[in-house]
């Protein structure tokens, strides 16, 4: 079968679903690539939970400020129109429903929208949650970008998460290397297949029942 979408193509596909003018929080990893694929004519304003709106790209060495970093503790810049604020205000933006879209990576996402992306629950693991639980509960649209399966080929889209949950029933859409998948009241539903990927390919690599794309209704062009 085809290899499906690359990391960049997954990020670009997710960016297409973010409306112009959105306030956006991006997780670490593939979600960070979204900034490179903002569709022509749209503007997103990036929130970083350690206290800034209007986050810009990484600085060159000459313009680096050690006190200007993102939630992943990487150096960033502030765009014209940026604002700084303290942590309680920052999480009021998150919890209060003011951030439009959050794009996250994950270990598992379940057919009912549960997400597990903070801990494996292993006995020797040091639990570290950061802002993940606040983001998934507070941000209006939770998008997930992830490979469809782990390196070992295990499904990451599952019936029920086996890892400790980050949030219950919070994910709305998943962008994988194989497909765009919605969380619906009936479970996973494919919205779009990557080029060269069949629905059967996706079902085979999904750990739960998955619905095919909704039939295009014929004769509705004039509605």
Partner 1 sequence: MIDKTYPSVAEAVADIPDGATVMVGGFGASGSPVELLHALIDQGASDLTVINNNTGNAEVGLAALIGNGQVKKMICSFPRSSQSRVFPKLYREGKIELEVVPQGTLAERIRAAGAGIPAFYTPTSVGTVLAEGKEVREFDGRPYVMEPWLKADFALIKCAVADPLGNLTYNKTARNFSPLMCMAAKTTIVQTGQLVARGGIDPEHVVTPGIFVNRIVEVPHPVHEDTLIAEGRSYP
Q: Is 52 in the site for partner 1 (CB under 8 A)?
A: yes
- How far apart are CB 159 and partner 1 at their closest, in Å? 17
Q: Is 80 in the site for partner 1 (CB under 8 A)?
A: no
Residues whose CB falls within 8 Å of the CB of residue 90, separated by 6 or more in sequence, listed in order: 47, 49, 50, 51
Q: Is 66 in the site for partner 1 (CB under 8 A)?
A: yes
Which of 213, 222, 201 shows the shortest CA–CA distance to 4? 201
Tell me the window of 2-10, 120-128, 149-157, 194-202 that interacts with partner 1 (CB under 8 A): 120-128
- How far apart are CB 81 and partner 1 at their closest, in Å? 15
Which of 205, 177, 204, 207 shows the shortest CA–CA distance to 192? 177
Q: Is 218 in the site for partner 1 (CB under 8 A)?
A: no
Q: Is 36 in the site for partner 1 (CB under 8 A)?
A: no
- How far apart are CB 54 and partner 1 at their closest, in Å? 12
Q: Is 45 in the site for partner 1 (CB under 8 A)?
A: no
Q: Phi-psi region for residue 134, left (φ > 0), alpha (ψ -120 to 50) or beta?
A: alpha
Q: Is 199 in the site for partner 1 (CB under 8 A)?
A: no
Look up 221 and say whether it is catalytic.
no
Q: Which is nearer to partner 1, 90 or 147 (CB)?
A: 90
Cα separation, 207 vs 67, in Å, equals 43
Cα separation, 101 vs 95, in Å, equals 12
CB 162 within 8 A of CB 211: no
Cα separation, 86 vs 49, in Å, equals 9
- The residues of the shown chain that bind partner 1, judged by CB under 8 A, are 48-52, 65-70, 73, 78, 84-88, 90-91, 94-95, 124, 126-134, 137-138, 164-168
State the catalytic residues.
Answer: 49
């Amino acid at each position: 079968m085809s290899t499906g979408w690359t990391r960049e193509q997954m990020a670009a596909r997710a960016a297409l679903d973010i409306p112009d003018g959105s306030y956006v929080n991006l997780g670490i990893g593939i979600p960070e690539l979204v900034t490179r694929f903002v569709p022509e004519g749209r503007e997103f304003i990036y929130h970083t939970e350690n206290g800034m709106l209007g986050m810009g790209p990484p600085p060159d060495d000459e313009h680096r400020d050690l006190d200007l970093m993102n939630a992943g503790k990487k150096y960033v810049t502030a765009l014209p129109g940026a604002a700084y604020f303290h942590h309680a205000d920052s999480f009021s933006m998150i919890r209060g429903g003011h951030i439009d879209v959050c794009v996250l990576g994950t270990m598992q996402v379940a057919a009912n929208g549960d997400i597990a992306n903070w801990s494996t629950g292993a006995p020797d693991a040091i639990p570290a949650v950061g802002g993940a639980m606040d983001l998934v509960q507070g941000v209006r649209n939770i998008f997930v970008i992830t490979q469809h399966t782990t390196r070992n080929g295990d499904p990451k889209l599952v019936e029920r998460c086996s890892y400790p949950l980050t949030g219950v029933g919070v994910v709305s859409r998943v962008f994988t290397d194989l497909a765009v998948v919605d969380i619906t009241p009936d479970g996973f539903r494919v919205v779009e297949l990557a080029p060269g990927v069949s629905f059967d390919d996706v079902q085979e690599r999904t750990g739960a029942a998955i619905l095919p794309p909704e039939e295009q209704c014929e004769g509705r062009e004039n509605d």
